[in-house]
Amino acid sequence: GAGVSQSPSNKVTEKGKDVELRCDPISGHTALYWYRQRLGQGLEFLIYFQGNSAPDKSGLPSDRFSAERTGESVSTLTIQRTQQEDSAVYLCASSLRVGTVPEAFFGQGTRLTVV
Amino acid sequence: AQTVTQSQPEMSVQEAETVTLSCTYDTSESDYYLFWYKQPPSRQMILVIRQEAYKQQNATENRFSVNFQKAAKSFSLKISDSQLGDAAMYFCAYRSPGAGTYKYIFGTGTRLKVLA
């Protein structure tokens, strides 16, 4: 696609429910990132996928968080048993691994509200 | 581990004036990339400018320029002729170029207000 697409744009869920957030990266981008942005704060790294390599999961805050990516396409971020502190904007980005333009292209994010 | 620090939570500038946003970083790598991203209220992160550490020349994109001081590990953003549309959160980011993880490390951001 033309840009990184994330769905849903907004999600309200009850505490304790599971949620799935989806990210469609730019076609041809081998790297995909998930970040969490709490209200008024910076971007907190969650997980990074690069082709068929093992993902870098070092930023996942707990075992309630998991993510998958199918090849070099769609990724889903799953949060199980959501808690109020999970409320945040979840941003997905994709980039080329190497090259002259290693910038990350971001989606518009999913705003998750846990009530 | 690399870190990025933005010490100015908020800045204000009069329309048409110039403002500089500060960013410092810590790394033991000699080659890397640095970025400034803009995040307006729409949440869309937009790349403003990028700098390769091996290039001594400061990057420039129209009204946006950087002052890259590699030895001091400083990467400030200068916005000239500020416009109302420049109002946003600005994030400084670092990325390693080499093998291993390519994650982007972001600072905590600076909220820029542009006064009419």
Sketch out chain A's domains with CATH numbers: 5-114 (2.60.40.10)
Confidence of residue A72 (pLDDT cuts 50, 70, 90): confident
Contact present, B78 and B19 (Cβ < 8 Å):
yes
Class of domain B3-115: mainly beta
Q: How far is A110 from chain B (nearest CA, A)?
A: 10
Cis (ω within 30 of 0) for the bond into B41?
A: no
Backbone angles phi, psi at A48, to 5 degrees: -135, 130
Q: Which residues of A touch B93 (CB under 8 A)?
A: 104
Helix (H/G/I), strand (E/B), else coil: A60: coil
Q: If you average pLDDT over every residue of chain A, what do you get?
A: 91
Contacts of A40 (CB under 8 A, 6+ apart): none
CB distance from B45 to chain A under 8 Å?
yes
Assigned token pair, A37: 């942005």
Each residue's pLDDT, cut to its tens digit, for chain B (116 residues) gives 789 999 999 999 999 999 999 999 999 888 899 999 999 988 889 999 999 998 889 999 999 999 999 999 999 999 999 999 999 999 999 988 765 567 889 999 999 999 99
DSSP line for chain B: --EEE---SEEEEETTS-EEE--EEE-S-SS-EEEEEEE-TT---EEEEEEETT--SPPEETTEEEEEETTTTEEEEEE-S--GGG-EEEEEEEE--SSS---EEE---EEEEEE-
Q: Which residues of A touch B95 (CB under 8 A)?
A: 102, 104
Q: Which residues of A touch B42 (CB under 8 A)?
A: 108
B103 and A97: CB-CB below 8 Å?
Answer: no
What's the pLDDT at A28? 86
CB distance from B36 to chain A under 8 Å?
no
Of A43, A97, A105, nearest to B102 by CB-CB distance is A97
